[in-house]
Amino acid sequence: MDNLLEVVFNLCGIDLIPVAIPLLIYWIYYSRKVKNDLKGKVVLITGANSGLGEALAHVFHKAGCKLILAARRVDQLERVKSDLLKIKADSETFEPVIFPLDLSQLEAIPQKALDALAIYEHINILINNAGISYRGNILETSLEVQMKVMCVNYFGQIALTNALLPSLIKCNGHIVAVSSVQGRIAVPFRSAYSASKHALQAYMDCLRIEIPEVKVTVISPGYIRTNLSVNAVTGTGEKYGVVDSAIAKGYTPEYVAEKILRAVIMEKKELIVSPFLPKMAILFRIITPSLFFYVIKIWAKRKK
């Protein structure tokens, strides 16, 4: 510890010691919480086959969690598992379990939840990460597409959550819902996606209050460099197939995953992972809605 303090002092200089010491204390506290709070915890991650879900698998695996990796694409889950097994962590890790799961098959979810519970007899942390995005004009979007997005992003999430709730209550578990900044503010040409994330946000807010035995963390990320827009559905149900420029410039999945790990450890109720402007937009939507809608209207015209 003395050597560590000496390094900090040498790097920061005497003027920055008042800042360095609190940061050091926080780092020590955080490191110990990682080891004590997450070691051996059973974590079910949906959409763990790529993007943010894959990055989450890496950070929770390194933290010593027992992972259940869930997604439709088993071949991609095998790849993620193989990559995790190659990691040389500082402490003991556990072999991840692959778990095929299609959230659009609502009638099968109760049994799938029982199957997941049978693996370790309980689940400590449920990370609702899986989802589908959408790009389109409301007038040109079929009801079938609207229902498909809502089914995966909302009904599938709450069906799995409800099925696992009794177990989560018994072990004072933790539910993490990966929403979006677009779950806080509506964005043009994202109607189905934004609506599904609004619904998920509201459901989790109610769950947090109604069932205090379970911790709930809602994550609202901005743009993340994943294939979300490529795999998004259009108004006709076809694949969008394009990487949005905003997504290409977004945060890395690894960065967001680390933020989520910290939010779980610190038991945060909400976390917005975005640049300054989206956070200000959320604030303006609350305190000056007229200004917010005026700016969004101008932005939407430019996008047409």
239 secondary structure, DSSP code: B
Q: Would you state the torsion angle of the CA atoms of residues 211, 216, 220, 226, taken in this order, to the nearest 10 degrees?
A: -120
Among the listed ranges 16-30, 42-56, 86-100, which one has the minimum average pLDDT value? Answer: 16-30
- Residues 107-157 have pLDDT tens digits of 999 999 999 999 999 999 999 999 999 999 999 999 999 999 999 999 999
Among the listed ranges 103-112, 255-264, 286-295, which one has the minimum average pLDDT value? Answer: 286-295
Lookup result for tokens 């050597």: 3
Q: In which band, very low, low, confident or very high, does the pLDDT at 243 lie, cut at 50, 70 and 90?
A: confident
DSSP secondary structure, 161-186, as one string: HHHHHHHHHHTT-EEEEE--GGGTS-
- Residues 169-193 have pLDDT tens digits of 999 999 999 999 999 998 899 999 9
pTM of this structure: 0.87
Mean pLDDT across 223-239: 88
Token reading at 239? 């694949």
Mean pLDDT across 45-50: 96
Mean pLDDT across 4-9: 49
Q: Is 193 a catalytic residue?
A: yes
Choosing from 134, 193, 203, 251, the catalytic residue is 193
Range 39-273: architecture per CATH: 3-Layer(aba) Sandwich (3.40)
Res 2 pLDDT > 90: no
| pLDDT attached to residue 28 | 55
Q: Of residues 278 and 17, which shows the higher confidence score? A: 278
| pLDDT attached to residue 271 | 97
Mean pLDDT across 198-223: 97
Interacting residues of 246 by C-beta distance below 8 A, sequence separation 6+: 223
Res 73 pLDDT > 70: yes
Interacting residues of 55 by C-beta distance below 8 A, sequence separation 6+: 252, 253, 254, 256, 257
Q: Indicate the domain borders of the chain.
A: 39-273
